[in-house]
Amino acid sequence: MSGEVESYRQLPVTVYQIQSKFRDEARPRSGLMRGREFTMSDSYSFDANKELMVLSYQRAFDAYLRIFERLGIPVTPVEAVSGAIGGDVNHEFMAPSLVGEDHYASCSNCGLAANIEAATRRVDVERVDPSSIDAPAPSDVATPDAGTIEAVSALLGVSAAQIMKSIACIDDTGAVTIIVLPGDREARVPHGWRMFDEADFAAHSELKRGFIGPVDLDNVRVVGDLALASAAHPYVTGANRVDTHLINVVVGRDFTPESFASYVVVESGDLCSNCGHEMFLQRSVEAAHTFQLGLHYTSKMKNATFVSEDGSEQPFWMGCYGIGVTRLLAVLAEANHDELGLIWPEVVAPYDVTLLALGAARNEKVAEVAEAAYEALRNAGHSVLYDDRDVSPGVKFADADLLGVPWRVMVGTKGLERSCVEVRSRASGQTTEISLETLLAGQLS
């Protein structure tokens, strides 16, 4: 782009490509849904400032919505984490599907939707005064080999919800941070953080895997899930000693997290962080992804610049947008089928019309009309799949349903007696009769 665009006057610019892509996927699955080779359409926008980048982003976003609408694929744009690609605001276009690999949380009231990896919840309970919790000071309890919530729960006879889960992480600044959350919930590690790996545990011997706890931890940041701030009971936690836990740990008395936020993976029934109504989870397929990259890449590149209005050299504000074309085919089939087979949306159907000659081998007139209809429809600009096989009508009907071509024209003795043929819509199942004249003029209605 640096060779093509020199001035702010040339902006905005959006370029695209449709290319084969290769990924070293650890486990390809579900046919076209995730393969090591696939076709991808992606595009990139370049703007002079953030406000204009957002406009370009919105144009691409709206275009994607229109594409999916025309394809007959219902999609929900959801807030997502940007993964390795970087940048700030981004959306995944999720097609609800039982075969999907992703889940998103959606609010039943305000419509807020976010990938399960990004979704947060609200906890609508008053913060509890620690002094109101009647519990003696924390004390040790031996928990040999009980390094999991389940094991501690079974050993001590307490519910998972009464145990505090402590997850050791490296945060986005590289600092060791412990996330504490209710033991009956999965931890959601914020974007940019990572959980401890083998090397981290080796480097921080004060943190005993399976027995980590937030009490008396020096020089380690502790953050807590919202639910802990409103918990009206003491917790069981790790004692930071092998085979030992602490009981009667009260949040705010025995330790105080630096801050409270949503650190659990959202579950169905959790409250929307925006409006407080219940959220539900939807299984889905990621059909497309859009990103506001901002200066994420261009600020690190020497030549990704243009000359701005005031004469200074400025980096481009970028957006990037991708649709998995190969995957789209699978999503398309998922979204557009019934028990008889595919139902191609007209805009992407490989043929407009399938022409069935019924009993042509025994009726010369049928064969003649079908041949003529084939030519007429083609001359009128239709793409036609012509079934002139010598098989029974039932076989042709079933195959036509299976292939899912939008329009089916049936030429047979029954109709020809009245100089008619039938036209059937695969999507609606509606059959109408048209005259031979209409058909031979290349028209379907």
Q: Looking at 15, 301, 347, 395, which residue binds RNA (CB under 7 A)?
A: 395
Which residues, 6 or more positions from 171, have their beta carbon under 8 angstroms from its beta carbon?
177, 190, 192, 193, 221
Binding string, 40-79, against RNA, x = CB under 7 A? Answer: --x-------------------------------------
Helix axes 325-335, 50-71, angle to 10 degrees: 50
From the list 3, 174, 311, 394, which residue makes contact with RNA (rule: CB under 7 A)?
394
Residue from the set 220, 295, 416, 436 that interacts with RNA by CB under 7 A: 416
End-to-end CA distance of the chain: 50
Site string for RNA, 120-139 (x = CB under 7 A): --------------------
Cα separation of 250 and 256, whole Å? 9
Q: What are phi and psi of 384, to 5 degrees?
A: -125, 130
**H/E element holding 57?**
helix 50-71
**Rule CB under 7 A: is residue 84 a binding residue for RNA?**
yes
> Within the chain, what is the greatest distance between any pair of CA atoms?
98
**Which amino acid, one-letter code, is at 174?**
G
CB of 248 closer than 8 Å to CB of 137: yes
- Cβ atoms of 236 and 249 within 8 Å: the answer is yes
Decide if residue 35 touches RNA (CB under 7 A). Answer: no
Q: How far apart are CA 228 and CA 182, in angstroms?
A: 7
Site for RNA in 333-352 (CB under 7 A): 340
Stretch that binds RNA, among 182-190, 266-274, 376-384, 408-416 (CB under 7 A): 408-416
Which x/- pattern over 218-247 shows residues binding RNA (rule: CB under 7 A)? ------------------------------
**What would the two tokens of residue 150 be?**
């389940």
Stretch in the footprint of RNA (CB under 7 A) among 220-228, 248-256, 310-318, 399-407: 399-407
Tokens 């200074």 belong to residue: 312
Among 171, 397, 425, 442, binds RNA (CB under 7 A): 397
Between 4 and 33, how does the x/- string for binding to RNA read (CB under 7 A)? Answer: -------------------x-xxx-xx---
* Contacts with RNA, residue ranges (CB under 7 A): 23, 25-27, 29-30, 34, 42, 83-85, 101, 289, 320, 322, 340, 358-359, 362, 392-395, 397-399, 401-402, 410-416, 422, 424
